[in-house]
Amino acid sequence: MVRSLKNPKKVKRKNKGGNKGEGSSSSNLIPSPPAKVWQPGVDKLEEGEELQCDPSAYNSLHAFHIGWPCLSFDILRDSLGLVRTEFPHSVYCVAGTQAEKSSWNSIGVFKITNISGKRRELVPKTNNDEDTDMESDSSDSDDEEDEVGGSGAPVLQIRKVFHEGCVNRIRTMTQNPHICASWSGGGHVQIWDFSSHLNALAESQGDVSHGASAVSNQSPLVKFGGHKDEGYAIDWSPLVPGRLVSGDCKNAIHLWEPASETTWNVDSKPFVGHIASVEDLQWSPTEPSVFASCSVDKNIAIWDIRIGKSPAASIKAHNADVNVISWNRLASCMLASGSDDGTFSIRDLRLLKEGDAVVAHFEYHKHPITSIEWSPHEASTLAVTSSDNQLTIWDLSLERDEEEEAEFKAKTKEQVNAPTDLPPQLLFVHQGQKDLKELHWNSQIPGMIISTAADGFNILMPSNMENMLPPANEA
């Protein structure tokens, strides 16, 4: 199926007074030039032009921050419903800070409620109002007449826990989401129980400002200092509750096995196969003893904890550092990887024995890939963040069909033509955040992505992701 490419940035000519909305009476007599799709790294702004967001590209778009910039966060599985399609939405997350001073860091456990959005439509309405404007840091981006499920802006409630050092990465356990693991810039890995904070947030109805909330000094369940350096790689097993792996910048990977609900045994002898920093780890979604790792040494390794501390397979994956990997939980043969040179690749692990297992390779981004994640609802779809300040969504099942594209544009009366040289698999481009670091799909709200950057978080639901939702009469 061919779907339209939506790009949330359009170029718009400002009037001489510099106002975005109503100008002087004379400026109203001058017709505005048509908007055009903005291509990062290709197009340049001329004098008097500025970038503005296209609200029609989103069913929902909101922004918030928790104080200090956040390098890593995770979305908690909650009890509000397995597949939620009706606004307003609520989500629970944990996030770690990158504060100016080590002693100022904390983990934020937070709930966001009243996330509003637009009604679903099989064919989007035509947006003829070229003066529609939305600031990238606005917390309420939708047209009032289309918005459903809540009045006012989303409500952020947060509880903070002191964390020793910057939080390099944080992950929640799938089976017990109140249990979290954090990698500290100080070189240790900690496991936390945030049950009390989540219960308090679930019962609370008020708005709790991040600036007014106190930071508690809760002790972690476990603090492991056996790594020889700090690290960023960490992952919980989706199949064995409590099983964990952590990797550091000295190339060592340690296996954690649960001894009880609150204690873990960490193997002091690490898995060693990389010759440089281990950047990311991912457990297999189908094999409880198998995990993958990627490294600055440009390789991806596949490990089986049953057969020793050396890799079962090692792959030269990219021509630069391999920063991130993602194992497809809906198609377990597919592994995605993103590199420091801006490229990302998809491998079919069934083809490893035959040599090159790459089934797709993309060079769209020109700066390092900082995050990559498969959709939990659509096996062919994944999202990517890059240091070029773009979050992109890709559907590998798409192929260019000029006849179908023309038919769709005729139906929707699109006024903005997408560039013809973009990969047909590129489904959506989100901009407006600076120094994007990490994204996650919400596994319980189809089509929702949350991303973190130097200037805060975005919650976005692209309008051309309707295939992830059940038919309206089944929602």
3-state SS, one letter per residue, for 332-345: CCEEEEEECCCCEE
Say how many domains are in the chain.
Answer: 1
Query: Collapsing DSSP states into helix, strand and coil, what is residue 261?
Result: coil
Please indicate, yes or no, if residue 27 is contained in any of the structural domains. Answer: no
Q: What is the pLDDT of residue 55?
A: 87
Q: Structure pTM?
A: 0.85
Q: Domain for residue 47, yes or no?
A: no
DSSP 37: B
Q: Strand, coil or helix: what is 448? A: coil
Does residue 39 form part of some domain? no
DSSP 54-99: -GGGEEEEEEE--SS-EEEEEEPP-SS-SS--SSSEEEEEEEEE--
Within-domain flag for 439: yes
Q: Which structural domain, as residue segments, surrounds residue 332?
A: 57-474
What is the chain's pLDDT, residue by residue, as a tens digit (475 residues)?
A: 333 334 444 433 332 223 222 223 333 444 555 566 667 767 777 787 777 888 889 999 999 999 999 999 999 999 999 999 999 999 999 999 999 999 999 999 999 999 999 865 544 444 444 333 333 344 444 444 456 655 679 999 999 999 999 999 999 999 999 999 999 999 999 999 999 999 999 998 765 544 446 999 999 999 999 999 999 999 999 999 999 999 999 999 999 999 999 999 999 999 999 999 999 999 999 999 999 999 999 999 999 999 999 999 999 999 999 999 999 999 999 999 999 999 999 999 999 988 779 999 999 999 999 999 999 999 999 999 999 999 999 999 998 777 776 776 666 555 555 566 789 999 999 999 999 999 999 999 999 999 999 999 999 999 988 666 555 444 4
Q: Round to whole Å and give the CA distance between 105 and 72.
A: 13
The answer as to whether 388 is a domain residue is yes
240: in domain: yes
Closest CA to 389 of 450, 427, 426, 435: 435
- Evaluate whether residue 145 is within a structural domain: yes
Residue 106 lies in a domain: yes
CATH number of the domain where residue 342 is located: 2.130.10.10
pLDDT at 204: 86
Residue environment code for 340-350, b if the CB has 16+ CB neighbours within 10 A, otherwise e:
bbbbbbbbebe
